[in-house]
Amino acid sequence: MTTMTDKETAALALRAPANAAEWQQVHGLRRRALFDDNPAYNENHPDDRNSDHRLLGLFLDGELIGTLRADLTHPVWAALRLVAVDPARRGLGYGVTMMQMAETFIKEKGWRQVRLHAKPDAIGFYKRCGYHLITWDEQARTPDCIDLGKHL
């Protein structure tokens, strides 16, 4: 399997989209990877506008590789949501790297616990990232999700 080079890894940045074009890249990736091109996807969803919810893109020289949102609203746990890697870049280690960078970001903000609702297809990926089954009273928006967590 071809994987990221050290040079690519060093050039990766997990950050907020910097301009309208980068926001469009994020919305496009979410539509394709997570919403099945459903026209109901809302680019102005209030959950993305909450200042405690950090929508982040994994960028390589300005090109979007992946995206996720870190919700820092609960005092004890942070939630990772809407995790996706560009289909053309999957299987190369970007997903694991993006999760590690997100966890560093969350830890630097002062949180020590991360939770997420995992789609069944992605459970293997999250286990590879060190997540384990948890009990969580927050209801997932999509059915069949499994609740996973990790201590940082």
Ligand X SMILES: CC(C)(COP(=O)(O)OP(=O)(O)OC[C@H]1O[C@@H](n2cnc3c(N)ncnc32)[C@H](O)[C@@H]1OP(=O)(O)O)[C@@H](O)C(=O)NCCC(=O)NCCS
Residue ranges in contact with ligand X by CB under 6 A = 33-34, 83-85, 90-96, 118-119, 121-122, 124-125, 128
Q: Which of these, 50, 26, 22, 27, lies nearest to 38 by C-alpha position?
A: 27
Please state, in angstroms and rounded to a whole number, the distance separating the CA atoms of residues 57 and 18: 10
- Measured from the CB of residue 49, what is the shortest distance to ligand X in angstroms? 21
Beta-carbon neighbour count of residue 79 at 10 Å?
Answer: 21
- Measured from the CB of residue 123, what is the shortest distance to ligand X in angstroms? 7
Cβ-in-10-Å burial (0-12, 13-18, 19+) of 56 comes to buried
Task: Find all residues with CB under 8 Å of 83, minimum gap 6, and list them.
Answer: 66, 67, 68, 95, 98, 99, 116, 122
- Measured from the CB of residue 129, what is the shortest distance to ligand X in angstroms? 7
Please state, in angstroms and rounded to a whole number, the distance separating the CA atoms of residues 28 and 40: 13
Return the structure tokens found at 101: 């960078």
- Measured from the CB of residue 139, what is the shortest distance to ligand X in angstroms? 15
Q: Which is nearer to ligand X, 110 or 145 (CB)?
A: 145
Beta-carbon neighbour count of residue 113 at 10 Å?
Answer: 15
Q: Which is nearer to ligand X, 72 or 98 (CB)?
A: 98
Q: Which is nearer to ligand X, 17 or 95 (CB)?
A: 95
Q: Which is nearer to ligand X, 31 or 119 (CB)?
A: 119
Q: Which is nearer to ligand X, 23 or 96 (CB)?
A: 96
- Measured from the CB of residue 43, what is the shortest distance to ligand X in angstroms? 18
